[in-house]
Structure 1
């Protein structure tokens, strides 16, 4: 009878074992947070804000490492193949963990099967920006220039399959225009060339160009969002300027390699979500023009699936074939 009671008690206690273990897991050394883009871009900056904030609670430094190239596939592939022990994670986005699945012939990983989501962070709004000496004060001016000389205007993006690429292709499909695509390895080199007048325009994420807009180095002509942004209240949306069905936003999220033990995922997820909900973290990220919307893994999984379906449709509407 006594043995039976002890056995029953152990069964009752079992469900509580995992959360207890999750709280006691400690990383064995510094954690690498891979960013698949060059340093200085918005994805990199947000990753560094969160990495610095969670280092204390985790008891180890979280170090951001930039591995750019291949439309974000090189760095992301590195994480997919990393040991699933919680020591290597990544801050990715709709390109690395969505669009590459249907835009690259061989990305070298499966954006869904090879990763476990830790937390959704939110989304980047897109804004059309032009070099200062381009004779365009609004988006209709851009359309007129593009139609006058098809293919002569060139637009920069953060790589094939990025949000800035597909959203601009969608814009061209909606407006009947043709421009030449110039892909970059990330936001920083793109912005440098735009400021330097080496490319004409870009449909960039707001955080990557907000400082340059405010300093007068480049000019914003339209927001690709349903409503105006408080950081740029004077800039009208695409819809306000007569362009319908061309809005797009790029999400971002934290991931660990698939196969990482659940207690480790739970601990990392909890610390990242705590950071994303802190007023001071939100304030720092909001200044960049990024909309913080934390999602736990259970909320993020269906959101990611829906977003992938949305971007597949955007590529289809823009006439881009998968694998192109």
Structure 2
């Protein structure tokens, strides 16, 4: 009887397994997510603001997910190379993107044929931080403030060089907007990320630089770079003596950037929810908040739905700015 009972139980389990269908294994895999390291693609070179924020968040999320979150730098095309790679990855939660204003707000208007749709090709996870931009010059550069810089540029139109993290990035647009609003002209030198741009800013080879504050903050504190203005509406607590661009003599000027996590479209909601929870928990960690605040980044956090709404509003906000600046990428 015992043998008959065992056989009957096994038969019932087999029938129930068949009724559960082929998707049940996938559901169990999602329940156990993550079962291997997660790859976080940072679409810019190492050493820049996005890379810095990405590494802080990766460590914090890895501690909460129980699996390592590995940062992979894949720079190029203003962030689009790395973003495209993630959009085309398997939607299983093991490849995610450190998205930026460049990849998810600007590319839609900058390119006649964008390589991806920032709203349709990604599953939003969470808005991580907002980041001020900053205009700096090498410590040996003659201009001591924005007004002196503008005067020098007008004396030497088209001769001075300035750098950004790449064509089509928010820093490129920050510089373009500066020239448009001040009636000046400089030669733009694009790099594949803030890190490489800073090398030449520090050496004086390309002395004028628009950058995200986190990647430049250490060099500003150390005196190698002189901060002329931050690009936000209000001053940054980390550098209370640095004026806003408007205070420095460019009325109405305002730009900033942000970092957020995205997965490929079609990633299971359960997986997105786990990534969102891990990121939000990391952002509440006092040590994480302190590290990010120490470089000028402001923690945000929130839901996937809030990030989706943010992307939509940012695309609408930047489109007229891009058109007015006359910037177009092909």
Write the mapping of 1:71-220 to structure 2, written as runs, cut at 5 A.
Answer: 71-220=78-227
Q: CA deviation at 1:165?
A: 0.6
The residue that corresponds to 1:276 in the other structure is 283
Q: Aligned partners of 2:145, 2:32: CA distance in 1, in Å?
A: 54
Q: Aligned partners of 1:195, 1:56: CA distance in 2, in Å?
A: 35
* Greater radius of gyration (CA): 2
Q: CA deviation at 1:49?
A: 1.2
Q: Which moved more, 1:291-300 or 1:106-115?
A: 106-115
Q: Which moved more, 1:72-81 or 1:97-106?
A: 97-106
> SS of the residue aligned with 1:48?
helix
Aligned partners of 2:201 and 2:207 also within 8 Å: yes
> SS of the residue aligned with 1:89?
strand
Q: CA deviation at 1:219?
A: 0.7
Q: CA deviation at 1:319?
A: 2.6
Residue 49 (1) aligns with residue 56 (2): yes
Q: Which moved more, 1:102-111 or 1:229-238?
A: 102-111
The residue that corresponds to 1:33 in the other structure is 40
Aligned partners of 1:25 and 1:267 also within 8 Å: no
> SS of the residue aligned with 1:239?
coil
Q: Aligned partners of 1:22, 1:168: CA distance in 2, in Å?
A: 47
Q: CA deviation at 1:23?
A: 8.7
- List structure 1 runs of 4+ shifted beyond 4 angstroms: 20-23
Aligned partners of 1:25 and 1:264 also within 8 Å: no
The verdict on how the C-alpha distance between 1:189 and 1:291 changes in structure 2, with shifts beyond 3 A counting, is: same
Q: Aligned partners of 1:40, 1:173: CA distance in 2, in Å?
A: 29
Q: Which moved more, 1:248-257 or 1:276-285?
A: 276-285
Q: Any stretches of 5+ residues in structure 1 without a counterpart? A: 1-19
Q: CA deviation at 1:211?
A: 0.5
Q: CA deviation at 1:104?
A: 3.2
Q: Aligned partners of 2:209, 2:117: CA distance in 1, in Å?
A: 29
Aligned partners of 1:164 and 1:205 also within 8 Å: yes
TM-score computed with the length of structure 1 as normaliser: 0.89
Q: CA deviation at 1:107?
A: 4.3
Aligned partners of 2:106 and 2:318 also within 8 Å: yes
Q: Any stretches of 5+ residues in structure 2 without a counterpart? A: 1-26
Aligned partners of 1:123 and 1:249 also within 8 Å: yes
Count of paired positions: 304
> SS of the residue aligned with 2:247?
helix
Residue 231 (1) aligns with residue 238 (2): yes
The residue that corresponds to 1:286 in the other structure is 293
TM-score computed with the length of structure 2 as normaliser: 0.88
Q: CA deviation at 1:43?
A: 0.9
Equivalent residue in structure 2 for 1:295, among 302, 319, 323: 302
The residue that corresponds to 2:23 in the other structure is none
